[in-house]
Chains A and B, each alone.
Chain A
């Protein structure tokens, strides 16, 4: 069951509303999680080896899953528990209801478990007359408020302290209103203590289930899960089958990572290793004077392993990775869009954040991801955050492609269709098709400039673009250059170095070629001044644009064409230097999804970020006099505010820009935000314009402090420059223009 598809305007209105309600608290609440994760990941000497080990263990576990399900069943039953393998949500619900009925359960307490929400367990038990009490404080708040989780790990992240206080006051009709976090915590845990004492059944999830010992590992902070698991005589643990790992000895890498990745803590307060049925006796608070400790005890334990689409996900080469997810929420915390709106916008029926697309598509069906999938801009900031190295942007791209292909014909526009022959189905959203074919558009734009710019800039032009393709009319559109970068290069007299130290292709990406032409010219001059023989061949755009729109087959065609043009140059000894970071990310990373290994490796291993390349040249003794002279000419303007590109940061190459600029005498302050908010075409879209501006606000704030307000602004990505231009009163430009030896002091781009 998917939410009804909302029109773009309705979606925009919904996002605007969430920006002003949930969004205000989400950003504030997840910020410490983010900061803690960055801090701890940097602090631990073995972060990368833990991530590699965790990934390998999950790959192995999912590979051997059927065998592990059998093993854990034998183990748990050997320990004295019962295991039920539920095919789907219905099956799992029915089983737990029957366990409750067989034990005359009237009241149950439950620890936080997303899987029980996935199968809608509470509703089932309530309908059978069992009161279910959520004991996790955040889940308790949501149960009282009758709201859905907005985050997979910290589900009430959209609520403020004041809202919680008002909720408690209205539900419990308090004499004295509660104010401080301490008072609220004390009140809630006192209420819940009574529920725990009277419960006949304890329900928990499981972070890990170990096949060799039948141990349920629970990673918690509050202690509610410990109480819920140990107090009532009967316990049920509900776990997705993907939670099984081969051995208890496999857990350390996960446990070292999950505190930092989830909540920015070095480690959570509790990691429980229960191997039920446990020897600790149940406590019967209805018989307050009967001692129970010290005696053997009869406990009942049921492990419900939920399939509900997971075995099919395991067979799906693209969705399989989702099963490695440990549900820590790092992908949500690190996501600039999520921070602004939370999981009520960036989420489906059960799951939220970047990985939700994989989970929703897998357990509820592809359409369940349709409403929120576009909120992943592919910025890749979550990739290095994920403790099990899931390629979350790729999962979003794949599902977007599936959604595109499933889209029904009828909504498309024949003019756009005719203009942009691609590999996609007729029903594709016109906006996606327009942005996905930006190369065609840019070619037309340059050929017909300045007419194209005048048409696109006219009121009528903007209305048509908004109506047909959903391009928000509040956005300034890029201005196409009449003479492209390649045309400029070809028309130039050969001024290359006489005795080059290296030879390189400067990749003419679509933006450098048609819009930000000056940065291309500057790059050529910089490279030549450092002794590089530069060529600028005719080559297609990288395919980043269609890839972002989920037009995977179209992107594949681009990838093939690009490597057909560039790989022979590489074989001839040329390096490939890339100005646009999102294109470098295609060459180095994303092409592995689109090309065979050999073809893509050749390009990946010989492509360089422009400043990474310059840095390498300088390290190898290139003469930087021309560049330093450029720096000297700007006396009094050596202070820069630099915003690197999100994908540049994921690749770890943003430091080269800072290093080169500093080496040349600049004083650089770098932004510390996940994303500028523009994210390629995202910020142009009618439904996401407001969100894009809201995300950009943090960057604007960082570049308008007393320390940064007078600094010249430089940014590596095209869309970052466009976003900065709309956010700030001063213009932004690519950093290569700062060190351009043939500087003209021109600010035109």
Chain B
């Protein structure tokens, strides 16, 4: 239910949402890796970036050259179609903000109904030592140049891959 709502809301705010499974994940992800890719480890059982040409712990030059960044995301917010991007010393914050495309991997079980629910989760994680979380809704945007443009300083594309069996 709330996954459907999340999907509608995210799609309405210029993100794409694609449902997949642990088994099909490799194929789903591969379709998005159309350039130099950087990433951070995925915490979902049965899923890994290892088989893919994704650079973990990139150098500054590799980060600069990357066109795709892959990170885990969650929780997701059904009412807005937002995803929370938590960042630690693996650098999900940089990996998600520098490349042109951000691919976020979400567990279907990690969708919460409201923004308030997500903030509650963030507050709990901050209490446990998380120092950076970004509630992300769609790609970066600006209206400063005379009309709405998607893709300002941050990514122009946000793709959310949902693991339906996680």
Contact = CB atoms under 8 A, between A and B. Distances in A.
A292 B38 CA distance: 13
Interface string A273-286: 11111111101110
B88 interface: yes
Interface in B77-110: 80, 82, 87-94, 97-98
A224 B152 contact: yes
A131 interface: no
A284 B91 CA distance: 13
B48 interface: no
Interface residues of B, number: 55
Contacts of B82: 267
B130 interface: yes
A254 to B, nearest CB: 10
Contacts of B72: none
Interface in B120-166: 120, 122-123, 126-127, 130-149, 151-155
Contacts of B151: 185-186
B88 A181 contact: no
A156 interface: yes
A476 to B, nearest CB: 40
Contacts of A29: 143
Interface residues of A, number: 71
Contact of B145 (A137, A197, A280, A283): A137
Contact of B88 (A256, A267, A269, A280): A280
Given A278-B93, A280-B132, A290 B60 contact: yes
B140 A288 contact: no
B102 to A, nearest CB: 10
B89 A281 contact: yes
B131 A278 contact: yes
Contact of B153 (A192, A252, A285, A287): A192
Interface stretch (A215-223, A304-312, A581-589, A686-694): A215-223
Contacts of A161: 145-147
A273 B122 contact: yes
Nearest to B119: A252
Interface stretch (A294-302, A531-539, A716-724): A294-302
Nearest to A253: B116
A167 to B, nearest CB: 11
B123 A221 contact: no
A390 to B, nearest CB: 23
Contacts of A255: 115, 119, 135
Given A185-B142, A270-B154, A280-B88, A252 B116 contact: yes
Contacts of A285: 60, 64
Contacts of B133: 272-273
B144 A213 contact: no
Contacts of A606: none
B137 A267 contact: yes
Nearest to B136: A270
Given A138-B144, A189-B152, A231-B94, A295 B89 contact: yes
Interface string A233-272: 0000000000000011101100110000001001111111
B94 A160 contact: no
B134 A273 contact: yes
Interface in A129-182: 135-138, 141, 154, 156, 160-161, 164, 181-182
A294 B131 contact: no
Contact of A164 (B63, B119, B145): B145
B61 interface: yes
A289 interface: yes
A154 B144 contact: yes
A442 interface: no
A297 B89 contact: yes
Nearest to A266: B80
B154 A291 contact: no
A409 to B, nearest CB: 47
A227 interface: yes
Nearest to A213: B126
B58 A269 contact: no
B122 A248 contact: yes
B146 A184 contact: yes
Given A255-B119, A296-B89, A222 B154 contact: yes
Contact of B131 (A193, A251, A274, A291): A274
B19 interface: no
Given A221-B140, A278-B87, A227 B97 contact: yes
B153 A279 contact: no
A189 to B, nearest CB: 5
Contacts of B120: 249
Interface string A182-196: 101110110011000
Interface string A81-125: 000000000000000000000000000000000000000000000
Contacts of A294: 56-57, 89-91
A488 interface: no
Nearest to A299: B131
A280 B123 contact: no
B89 to A, nearest CB: 5
A288 B88 contact: no
Contacts of A188: 145
Given A137-B145, A156-B144, A226-B97, A280 B89 contact: yes
Contacts of A552: none
Identify the 6 closest CB pairs spanning chains A and B, nearest first.
Answer: A223-B154, A161-B146, A288-B61, A222-B152, A223-B153, A223-B140
29 contacts: A137-B145, A181-B145, A181-B148, A186-B151, A189-B152, A197-B64, A221-B140, A222-B144, A224-B152, A227-B153, A227-B154, A230-B87, A248-B122, A248-B123, A251-B119, A266-B13, A269-B138, A271-B134, A271-B135, A272-B132, A273-B122, A275-B131, A275-B132, A280-B93, A280-B131, A280-B132, A288-B61, A293-B89, A294-B91
Interface of B: 13, 56-61, 63-64, 80, 82, 87-94, 97-98, 114-116, 119-120, 122-123, 126-127, 130-149, 151-155
Interface of A: 29, 32, 79, 135-138, 141, 154, 156, 160-161, 164, 181-182, 184-186, 188-189, 192-193, 197, 213, 215, 221-224, 226-227, 230-231, 247-249, 251-252, 255-256, 263, 266-281, 283-285, 287-297
Given A279-B88, A279-B131, 18 more contacts: A156-B144, A161-B146, A181-B149, A185-B144, A222-B140, A226-B97, A226-B153, A249-B120, A252-B116, A252-B119, A266-B80, A273-B122, A278-B132, A288-B59, A289-B59, A290-B60, A291-B59, A294-B57
